[in-house]
A and B are shown apart, each in its own frame.
Chain A
Amino acid sequence: MKISYNWLKQYIPNIPSVEKLSEIFTYHLCEVEGVEIIEGDTIFDINILPNRAHDLLSHYGVAREIASFLHIDFINPLKKKELNEKEDTKLLIKIETKNCRRYMGRIVRNINVDQSPEWIKNKLESIGQRSINNIVDIANLVMFDCGQPTHVFDLDKLYNEKIIIREAKDDEEMTTLDEKHLILEKNDMIIADEKNILAVAGIKGGKLAEVDNNTKNIVLEVANFDPVTVRKTAQRIGIFTDARKRFENDLSPELGNYAMKEFSFMIGEICPDAVFEDIVDIYPQKQLPRKIFFSADRISKILGLDVTSNDIENILKNYNFLYKKKEDIFEIDVPIMRADLNCEEDMAEEIGRILGYDNIKPVLPKIDFLPKENQVYKKITKARSKLLKEGYGEVITYAFRNKGEREVLESASDKKFLRSNLSDGLKESITLNQKNFQFLDSDLVKVFEIGAVFLKDREEIRVAYGDKKSITEVALDEYIKNNTLDIDEVEVKKDLNKKFKMWSLFPFIVRDIAIWIPEKDNPADLIEIFKEKGTELLVKEPKIFDSFNKDGRTSYAFRLVFQSYERTLTDEEISKIMTEIEKKIKENSQWEIR
C-alpha cells in the first residue's frame, strides 16, 4: 500500500526521518517494497501483512502504530470538530441479511458536484489515485485515510428514500460504475432500493445511482460486511477493488463512527451550503469485547528472550492497551481495532516485533533427539549412488505433461496432466543432450531421474535410466530389490565453490586435431597452446579422445569446441584460429601434426 510521508505527518508532527521510518517498518512492522521521492513528499510502498490489513491499510492506522512504537504525540484531527446543524431524516434502512454487520446512511442535500480543490487532488495523486470529482474523491480520501470504505448514491436516482441490504436473487442483473454487466447469484450481498440494485455490497457501486455533475442530493454509505461473503462474490465476479481488499480482511464495525464523521465533515468543508440530515445507524451485530491472558514467563519461553513484566507494561501503555496485572498474569482488553490478537502467542508476536527480533540471540537447542533412518531416502540414495557410479547424469524433468492418468483442474500452462512415467521426460532429455555430447565428454549420453509419478490410484517413486538406445523404468522398491547395492556413498568430484557457467545459445563448431609428440613430452603443453591460440571462443577445456604409441612417439587426438556467446561462428574464422594453432605447434621441430 502507498503511504505518504506528509500525510502521516499530519497525525504525527514529530515523525522520524524517512530513513528511520523505513527501518522501523522493515524491522518492526512489515516489508518496504519501495520508497519514492516525489515533489515535496516521499511515498512508501509498504506491504501490510494480511493479519494487520484490518487496521493498517490506512494512514490513520500506520500513524497510530508509529506513534505508539516511538511513544510520540498522535493528533486526532477530528477530535474538536462537530457538524453544527443536523436535520431530521426520513431515510429508511433495512438489513435483510445476517452478512451485513452494520449500515450507516446519511442524506446530504444541496451539495455541488465540481472538481476537487488542488489539495485533495494532490493527496490522492500522491498515492497513485485518480481524481474524479469532489464527492467521489472525498469518499476515496476517507478510505485511504482511516481504512473504512465508503460509498455515495445520488438520492434523486433512488426509487424512494429507502435502502435495503439483502441477498441477490438468482440471475438478478446490474451494471457497475465502470459499465461491467453482472449476473448475480443467491449468495451475493447487494444494496438496493425498492426497485433496483444499487451496488454489490462492499465491492462495487452500480451505474444507476452514480453521482454525476448534476447531482444535488446524496446518500452517504458507511457499512460493514461479512468478509467471507464479500470475498466469495468478488472472486466469482472477478472484481478487485480497494474496498473489497479492506472488507475481506475483517474490518471492525466500530470504525464506522470515525469514518462517517470524517466523511460528513469533509463534505461540509467542500460544500458549505450542504444540509446534513441525521445519521441512520443500523447495527445488528455489535462487536464483542475480548480479553487475553498471558505471562511474561511464557512470552519469554516462546521468544527465547528474557522479557520482563516491566518491558511488557511499557509496550501496553504506549499502545494504549487497557490491562490488569494479577501476580504474574496480564489480562488485557483487546483494542477494538486489533482483530489479529486472540491468544498468548499473538501477544508474543506483538511484544517480539516491538522489542525487535534482533534482540533474540541464536542458541542451538540442547536436546538429545533420537532420529530414525528414513527408509525411502535411504533407498533413493542407494539407487542414485549406483547410477552415478555407472556414469549416468542426473536430471529433474517436469512433472507436467500433455498426457497422463491424473489431471489438474486449472493451469497457467497448457500441460494439464501429471506424468505417469519418467521415460517420456527422459527421452526428451536424451535427445537434447545428445546434440551437445561434445560438451559432455562422452560419446553416449546416459541420464537418469528418480522421482514421483502419478497413477490413477496412487503416487509412486520410480527410477528411470537409459541412453538413446533404450530406457529402463522401474519402481524404486523394485530397483532396490533387483540390484546389488554394495556401494555406500559415491565419490563424485565436487567443487561446490566454483561459479556456474552459463552456456551459449549459439551453435558450436568442433575441430579434432591429432599430433605426434615424443613419448617423454607432456601432452598438457599442447593444451596450453590450444588455450593460448584458441582465443575466448574455445569454450571447453580441450580433451584427448584417442592416443597411441609408435617408434618412441605418441599420437594424441584432441577435441576442440568453439562457440561464441554473441553470434554464430563461421568456418573461416575457426580455420584461421586452427592455422594459428598449427603454426605454433610447428615451432617445435619434434612435434608433427598428423
Chain B
Amino acid sequence: MNQNNSIKYNDSSIFISKNNSGSEHPLMTLVNQAYDIFSKLGFEIAVGPEMENEWYNFDALNMPKDHPARDMQDTFWVKEKIKKEKEERSERKVLRTHVTCVSAREIEKAKEEGRIPCAYISIGKVFRNEATDATHEMQFFQIDGTMVGKIKDGISLANLKGVLDFFYKEMLGSDVTVEFRPSFFPFTEPSLEVHAKFKGKWLEMMGAGMIHPNVLENVGLNSKEYQGFAFGGGLDRIAMIKWGIPDVRLLYQGDLRLNQF
C-alpha cells in the first residue's frame, strides 16, 4: 500500500476521541460569521426580547391596527392574564414577527444617549403562525440591520447596497452580486427586495429600504433631519443556500447529525 495515505489521515483524525470538542449548530456558525462581518463595518451587535410589545413589533414600524400590512405576517398573539387598558404604546404581547423591532429599540436608545450616527445588527429567532413545510417554519432566524445619521451624513441606498454587497460577498463568495428590485414594506420608503446572484441564479434574500419617516418619528427622530436604511431577511435561507440543507425543519429537531461544519 502506498505511503501517501498517511497524508490524508493524521493520527488524531482516525481515532474516536473521548475529548472531542463539541459541534456547532450551523445556524449559530452563521450567526457568528454574520456578526463578525457587520462588526468590520462598524455595526454594533444588539439583542432584544423574543416576546415583544405590540408597539415595537407593529405600531412603531408604521403598521397600525387594521392596516392590511399586518396580514403579511401571521402573528402569534400571547394570551394576557389581565385585559389591558388602551395604552398609547400598546404593551400587548406578541411573539416578534421580525427582528426589526430590535433595530427600532436601539435607534430610540441611541437618540437618547446622543450616539447618532449609529449602526446596529441583530440576529435572532422570530415567529410566524403558519403551516410548516420544507421552506416554512413557525420559528426561524432573521438578521436585521439599520444605519441612521443626520441627512448630511448621507446614509443612502447606495450605502445600503455597499453594505449588503460586502456582506454577501464575505458570506457566500466574492463572485456574488447584489441587486435591488422594487418592493413594499410599511416601515421603509423607498422599499426594496434584495436579490443575490449565487452560482448563476438570482435568489431573493432580504427586504430593505430607507427607514420610513413615520418610523423615524416614532423612535424620536425628526424625519426632516435624519435619514437611514434598514434591512432584514432570513438566516435559515442563507444556511440552506450555502450548504444545500434541503429542509428548514431539520434545523430545529435537536439532531446532532445536522452539525456537520
Contact = CB atoms under 8 A, between A and B. Distances in A.
Contacts of B125: 399, 451-452
Interface in B1-25: 1, 3, 5-6, 8-9, 14-25
A393 B251 contact: no
A354 to B, nearest CB: 10
Contact of A374 (B45, B115, B158): B45
B260 A440 contact: no
A119 interface: no
Nearest to B14: A544
Interface string B25-47: 11111001101000101111111
Given A49-B183, A441-B20, A544-B14, A367 B153 contact: yes
Interface string A354-396: 0001101111110111111110110001001001111111111
Contacts of B200: none
A525 interface: yes
Interface in B130-149: 130-132, 138-139, 147, 149
B189 A492 contact: no
Nearest to B120: A371
A439 interface: yes
Contacts of A242: none
A357 B21 contact: no
Given A353-B182, A391-B19, A429-B254, A524 B139 contact: no
Contacts of A499: 243-244
Contacts of B182: 27-30, 49, 349, 353, 357
A291 interface: no
A213 B251 CA distance: 58
Contacts of B212: 345
A328 interface: no
A524 B257 contact: no
Most buried by A among B23, B130, B210, B256: B256
A441 B17 contact: yes
Contacts of A212: none
Given A348-B210, A357-B180, A407-B79, A440 B257 contact: yes
A362 B190 contact: no
Contact of A302 (B1, B190, B242): B190
Nearest to A28: B182
A29 B210 CA distance: 18
A471 to B, nearest CB: 12
Report which residue of B14, B41, B242, B260 has the largest number of chain A beta carbons within 10 angstroms of its beta carbon. Answer: B14
B178 A31 contact: no
B23 to A, nearest CB: 5
A376 B131 CA distance: 32
Given A369-B117, A396-B25, A408 B77 contact: yes
Contacts of A176: none
Given A360-B158, A447-B256, A452-B125, A525 B1 contact: yes
B25 A395 contact: yes
Interface residues of A, number: 116
Contacts of B193: 31
Given A365-B162, A369-B43, A498-B260, A394 B78 contact: no
A223 B76 CA distance: 36
B119 A371 contact: yes
Contacts of A500: 26, 243-246, 260
Interface centre among A303, A343, A429, A524, by most chain B C-beta atoms within 10 angstroms, is A524
Contacts of B199: none
Interface stretch (A141-149, A199-207, A410-418): A410-418
A301 interface: yes
B177 to A, nearest CB: 9
Contacts of B78: 406-409, 418
Nearest to A493: B21
A249 B67 CA distance: 10
Interface residues of B, number: 107
- Interface secondary structure of B, over-half rule: mixed
Contacts of A27: 181-182
Nearest to B159: A365
A454 B79 CA distance: 12
Given A28-B182, A394-B23, A426 B254 contact: yes
Contact of A524 (B9, B117, B213, B227): B9
Contacts of B14: 523-524, 527, 543-544
Contact of A543 (B16, B51, B69): B16
A29 B193 CA distance: 11
B189 A372 contact: no
B220 interface: no
Contacts of A527: 5, 9, 14
A248 interface: yes
B138 A391 contact: no
Interface in A479-535: 490-496, 498-503, 522-525, 527-528
Interface in A520-570: 522-525, 527-528, 543-545, 547, 559
A459 interface: yes
Contact of B260 (A442, A445, A501): A501
A387 B22 contact: yes
A436 B245 contact: no
Interface string B179-211: 111111000011111000000000000000010
Which of A349, A494, A547 has the most B CB atoms < 10 Å from its CB? A349
Q: Which of B16, B77, B132, B180 has the most CB of A within 10 A?
A: B16
A370 B115 CA distance: 8
Q: What are the 9 closest A-B residue pairs judged by CB atoms, nearest first?
A: A304-B158, A429-B254, A304-B156, A349-B190, A371-B44, A369-B42, A357-B180, A49-B184, A524-B9
Given A349-B189, A399-B95, 12 more contacts: A227-B68, A353-B190, A357-B180, A357-B182, A363-B161, A387-B22, A395-B256, A397-B252, A428-B254, A429-B253, A459-B49, A522-B1
Interface of B: 1, 3, 5-6, 8-9, 14-29, 32-33, 35, 39, 41-47, 49-51, 66, 68-69, 72, 74, 76-79, 93, 95, 115, 117-119, 125, 127, 129-132, 138-139, 147, 149, 151, 153-166, 178-184, 189-193, 210, 212-213, 227, 242-246, 251-257, 259-261
21 contacts: A27-B182, A49-B183, A231-B68, A302-B227, A303-B158, A360-B161, A364-B166, A365-B162, A367-B117, A374-B46, A374-B47, A393-B259, A396-B254, A408-B129, A429-B256, A452-B49, A452-B51, A492-B22, A524-B9, A544-B14, A545-B16
Interface of A: 26-31, 49-52, 227-228, 231-232, 248-249, 298, 301-305, 343, 345-346, 348-349, 352-353, 357-358, 360-365, 367-374, 376-377, 381, 384, 387-400, 406-413, 418, 425-426, 428-429, 432-433, 436, 439-442, 445-449, 451-452, 454, 459, 490-496, 498-503, 522-525, 527-528, 543-545, 547, 559
